[in-house]
Every structure is written in structure tokens, then in C-alpha cells.
Amino acid sequence: MPTAMFTADELAVIRRAYAHQVVATAATTNPRIEAAFATVPREKFLGAPPWQIANLGGGYRPLPSSDLVLAYQDVLFALQSDKGVNNGSPSLHARLLAELDIQIGDRIAHIGAGTGYYSAILSELVGASGHVYAVEMDPDLAAHAQAALADRANVSVVNADGSQWPQQEVDAIYVNFAVARPAEPWIERLRPGGRLVLPLGVPRQDRPPKGGRHASHGAALRIERGEGGFAARWIGTAYFVCANGGLTIDDNEIDALTAAFRRGGIEFVKSLIWKTEPRIGRCWHIGDQWALCYDDV
């Protein structure tokens, strides 16, 4: 079990300081996001000590103690070190969550929820009148999320392949693994005005002996459904562990996406074309029945 060298009141102050630092690093001034990070106890979602954190050069190292205060750092904690699955960087997630523009009462699908830490942050942001569907394919991670989120009536944990969710219309979708294309439900079950944030990426060719397969090129994108189509915008560089299950694609599409990343220009993308013919010469990447293009919606 984690230990505590600080009182509950002291830990609450530490959590508030951590939240303030996280949103500052993320360059967001959203007070609701800061309040959510200050409220949710991260240690509930990290598993049993000894905790491990990711090294900048790769691999992991154990923390010297299991004190609760050590959870409040802007670092990656290993959830499944053998698969490269982490409780991701709080400042990166704060930045991506700001792009979702979450409102009280929203219904949100969190795809790749892991042990549920960012699902809990989302539950704070949607409030009691909203709902979060925390979808996780790995049964062990989903079981941890189920236990850690049991006190949140506005969260449902779903042990399923994220490519099949959501199964009803939602206001926002938050994807937490790298994909080489969006899944059909992520596009077709967004309500008008709905937002999707996802990490687009292609897997590295070399797989480390220990750890998951991470993206060799990666970018976070924001997609919004409008009356005339889907607006798209590059948020910034983002590297996540790559998708498994129903989101694996063939080598030809991976090669085409890799070539697009190498050419550059994703920061100029303005629209996502879905199941219609794109304008040749006006697209950053054309995939199977979808494209990212430079034209406005």
C-alpha cells in the first residue's frame, strides 16, 4: 500500500499546487481543468507500489518510496511496463482536454481509458448531469478502472475494443492511444458540434524487447462535426502506444501515412473528408474512405 508522510490537509494543498503546475505547463487557463486535477486522487489509479516512472531516454526506473506525494509529478507512471502502457503525462492530457471544450452535461466516450485516471478528470468536467463511457480493451486495466471509479455514478466502465465505441451519439470522444486512422464510430456517432481528439500515428518498425509499440510519428488532432462536414486542426506533437484490436491497418496505408508525416504540413490541415472523394492535390493524406485536407469545410 502507498504510505503518507503528509496529512490529508497537506496533501490537498500539494494536489492543488500540482494542478496549478500542470495547467501552466499545458498553457491552458481553464479553471475547471485545474480544479479537476486538484480534486482527483491520482494514486488510486497507479496500482500497488513500487511505482515506476518512465525515463526520458526509454525504459523505467522505480521510485525510492511509495509516499503518496510522489504521485503528484508531471511524469509518466507505468501501468503495464511490459506493454509500454502508462498513466500519461498530466500536462499533455490537460492540453488535449482543453481542446475538447467539455461542458457540464456532456456525454463523452473515453477510448483507451486505462485504469481510469483521466476518466475521473472527465467525470469532474461533465458534472453529475453528464456521463463518461470509459472504454478499455485490456481486462486487467478495465478491472482496476472499475474499482477506482466505483464511487462515480456518472462513469460507466466498458471492457471492449475501442474501435466499436461509442455505440450511441456523444458530445465528445477522447482517444488515448495512437491510431493510423479514425474508427467509424468516432466519426459517425459524434453529435452536430461534437468534438473528437485523437493521436494520429504510425508504429515504429523496431519493437523494443520490453515495452509496447509506440508511434514513430505522432500528432494530436481535433475534429469537430459541423453542418457542412468535419473541421480538423493539428494540436501538436503527441506520441502514444499504438492501437491493437480492430484498429490495425495494412502496410500500404501505414506506408502512405508515414510518407505524409515525412513530407510535413500536417499543421496546415483544416478538414477531415469522410466517405466522399477528396480533391486530389488538396490533401495532406488520403486513406481508405477518409482524408485530411487543406481546404476549409
Cα–Cα distance, 161 to 243 (Å, whole number): 10
pLDDT of residue 31: 97
Cα–Cα distance, 81 to 73 (Å, whole number): 18
**Mean pLDDT, the chain, whole residue set:** 93
DSSP-derived letter for residue 192 is: E
Residue ranges of the alpha helices (H) in the chain?
8-25, 31-39, 90-100, 117-126, 139-148, 184-188, 251-263
pLDDT in tens, 145-188: 999 999 999 999 999 999 999 999 999 999 999 999 999 999 99
DSSP-derived letter for residue 25 is: H
Per-domain boundaries in the chain:
8-293
pLDDT of residue 245: 67
- CA atoms 115, 110, 251, 259: torsion sign: negative
pLDDT of residue 57: 76
pLDDT in tens, 57-67: 778 999 988 89
pTM equals: 0.94
Q: What are phi and psi of 169, to 5 degrees?
A: -65, 140
Q: Is 84 left (phi over 0), alpha (psi -120 to 50) or beta?
A: left
- CA atoms 128, 13, 95, 113: torsion sign: negative
What's the average model confidence in pLDDT over 193-219?
76
CATH class of 8-293: alpha beta
Contact (CB, 8 A) for 164 and 94: no
pLDDT of residue 209: 44
pLDDT in tens, 212-242: 566 678 899 999 999 999 999 999 999 888 8
Query: Shortest CA distance to 257 belongs to which of 297, 214, 219?
Result: 219
